[in-house]
Amino acid sequence: MEHLNIDNEKCIKCDRCVQDCPMGIPEVDDNGTYYSNEDNACICIYCGHCVSVCPVKAVTLNPNNDKATLEEMADYGIIPFSLSPEECPPSEIGNLPLASQVESLIKSRRMTRSFKKDLVPRDVTDHIFHDVLTYVPSGHNARGYNALIIEGRQKLEHLGELSLDCFKEIMENGSLHSFDVKVHERIIAAWKNGKDRIFRTANQAVAIYCKEHIVPSDPALKFILTYFEMLANSMGIGTVWAGYFMRAVNTKPVKEYLGIADDEVVLGVMMFGYPEFDYPMLPKRPDIEVKYF
């Protein structure tokens, strides 16, 4: 079975699949016949663009069956699958928000640090991660990423306690900027006085992690949380990056508590929940200097 089945009876020679494939798998010969370049099948990233870009549904993608190739792909984070045109739902491009609405979402999004006690229901978070965020881009379409949703104030408080030991250690070894030293001193002091400056009043957080060897993982996992942040805010859910906790999240005590394996790495954590306050005004932000070359 060829990697791509290209129905040349349906094909209208538009060349879309050839131009759009990042790995040069669909090609056209001197007679104008479209075919699958099997030499390049071993570097397919299974983005599915060859199937989705065809206007006449002439392309079908088949999984790779070569054992060595499959092992290499698994190590890289690529997940092979089969895809027919009938399995592709129609594009939702007609349902996109107006540019002005996206602008308002970006400008109105605030880092939420005060949360209500009510948890975001699991059916909502399941929908966000299973139905929407699977479409977030990643380098070479690598996957194998996991979302761990931490629920409950007691769990976050325990993680805060574990974080304090890490903060003290990094303050002693001199790896922090002088500004951060002062910040962490005050985080520790506030904790002793019963104030949580690590997780604030959050009752939920999500950690995104994967096996350490997945090559394009760092930006991809941050993309997932960035898209999560924008979608959540559009749904009335507040978010804030758990930057302080990120200093401690990959330490042994924290990973053991969360059940994250030694060969896995957490690359992003975000608290979320229903905001206690709204923000009726937009704070000023410094301008971005733009240069052209």
Distance CA 290, CA 43 (A): 37
Instruction: Answer for the pair 6, 58: CB distance below 8 angstroms, yes or no.
Output: yes
pLDDT score recorded for residue 219? 81
Judged against a pLDDT cut of 90, whether residue 1 lies above it is answered with no
pTM: 0.90
Q: pLDDT band at residue 214, thresholds of 50, 70 and 90?
A: confident
What is the structure's pLDDT at 176? 85
Q: Given this model, what pLDDT does residue 216 score? A: 63
Q: Which of 16-25, 44-53, 173-182, 193-202 has the lowest mean pLDDT?
A: 173-182
* pLDDT tens, residue by residue, 21-33: 999 999 999 999 9
Confidence label for 142 from pLDDT (cuts 50, 70 and 90) = confident
Q: Which residue has the tokens 């941050």?
A: 222
Q: Which long-range contacts (CB under 8 A, 24 or more apart) does 161-164 make?
A: 162/248, 162/251, 162/253, 162/254, 162/257, 163/198, 163/244, 163/245, 163/247, 163/248, 163/254, 164/188, 164/191
% of the chain at pLDDT higher than 70: 99
pLDDT at 215: 64
pLDDT at 143: 83
CA–centroid distance for 146 within its chain:
9
In the predicted model, is pLDDT for residue 127 greater than 80? yes
Q: What is the pLDDT of residue 105?
A: 95
Are 142 and 216 contacting, i.e. CB atoms less than 8 angstroms apart?
Answer: yes
pLDDT in tens, 151-178: 999 999 999 999 998 999 888 888 889 9
- Which one is predicted more confidently, 150 or 212? 150
Residue 96 has pLDDT above 90, yes or no: yes
pLDDT of residue 64: 87
Q: Walk me through the domains of the chain, giving residue ranges and CATH numbers.
A: 4-87 (3.30.70.20), 100-273 (3.40.109.10)
Residue 192 has pLDDT above 80, yes or no: yes
